[in-house]
Amino acid sequence: MDEWGPEKVVCVSDRKSGMKGVLVLDNTARGMGKGGTRMSPTLSVNEVARLARTMTWKWAAADLYYGGAKAGLMGDPNAANKEQLLRAFARALSNEVPKEYVFGLDMGLSEKDAAIFIDELGDRGAAVGLPTALGGVPYDELGVTGFGVAEAADAAAQTLSVPMEGARVVIQGFGAVGAAAAERFRALGATVVGVSTSVGSVHDPDGLDLNRLLQLRGEAGDGCVREYGGVRPTGDALAFDCDILVPAAIQDVVDVDVARSTTASLVVEGANMPTTGPALEVLAARGVSVVPDFIANAGGVIAAAFSMDNRYSPFATDPAQIFAHISTKIRGNAATVLLESSTRGTTPHVAARQIAQERVLAAMRLRGRTAIGEHAKQPVA
């Protein structure tokens, strides 16, 4: 724990189903806790706490009035008893949801799972990311997060005077985020030359056949790269020659070795925490610009806030309105962070955190949540 949080950590379990899960409310000075819920067999409390802290900065950086929080369920997302686990998890957190926290979607969960949460708790406000048939916004289906990642890249490229037309893009992690980002990159004039999944990676310096790859993804999931042909080890993707590198899978994949060897001049973090601290220092020393995760991949939370704030409006599920809102927010934030980074003489990550921390600290002071003597006067870098 530090001066920012977490405010509450709730670990829950259920002997009958075998459910084990955790909710971390990190900082709610700017509003109630909202964040994704992930399911993984290797989930840890520390992992969820790190993600909750990222959400604190993500909401504040986007200047939206919700608090940082995250939930996690230990288990296989493809397990036969997944619904039983989800229902047990929701019941165990009924004191906190939806009064203090609203379920969102993250790794391992889908729109159908969000529907299970609201059914179990009998409250439509218990989760966001609901299927369209329930009046929700199907984030994965629309590809809002991936769309935002590409928009952040384009805004960063313009700020740095780097041409997007013909830029070679590698996307590490061709899931819902990566696939949507690839489509938007193509629309912006860039060329996707490499992608990877958990099965492997594929590369073509002249550009991949994106239509075919997307079709194969719909048919074979992560196996799309194998079906595409010329598959290579998954880790090779981070070494592919490119102008823009988009790590869009899991945390801590861009390490010092990758940072030293990448040919990219711009790294746009599609995943949460994909770059290690030492790697960020190496990239900065090499003059490689990085758009931080909680700036670049905020499309999902912006869409969530939009749909929550407009839940009784016909615009709540209007894709055109949602995409326009995401584009405006993320492009502005990406440009601001890079300019502030230059003005403050620091890295984009530090600049982004400082902006977010200043906003959170202002809210904490107004609510009287700072310690006596205000030991948190200066934002922590």
Q: How many residues does the chain have?
A: 381
Across 148-241, where does the E strand assignment appear?
168-172, 191-196, 201-203
Distance, in Å, from the CA atom of 46 to the CA atom of 83, rounded to the nearest integer, reads 25
Secondary structure class of 240 (helix, strand, coil): coil
Q: How far apart are CA 379 and CA 360, in angstroms?
A: 9
Closest C-alpha to 149, from 103, 190, 108, 111: 190
For residue 277, which amino acid is it?
G
Of the candidates 142, 145, 137, 141, the one whose C-alpha atom is nearest the C-alpha of residue 307 is 137
Query: Active-site residue among 58, 70, 82, 329?
Result: 70
User: H helices then E strands: how many in the chain?
Assistant: 14, 11
8 is catalytic: no
Residue 320, SS3 per DSSP: helix
CA 158/CA 338 separation, integer angstroms: 11
Distance CA 295, CA 291 (A): 7
Which residues are known to be catalytic?
A: 70
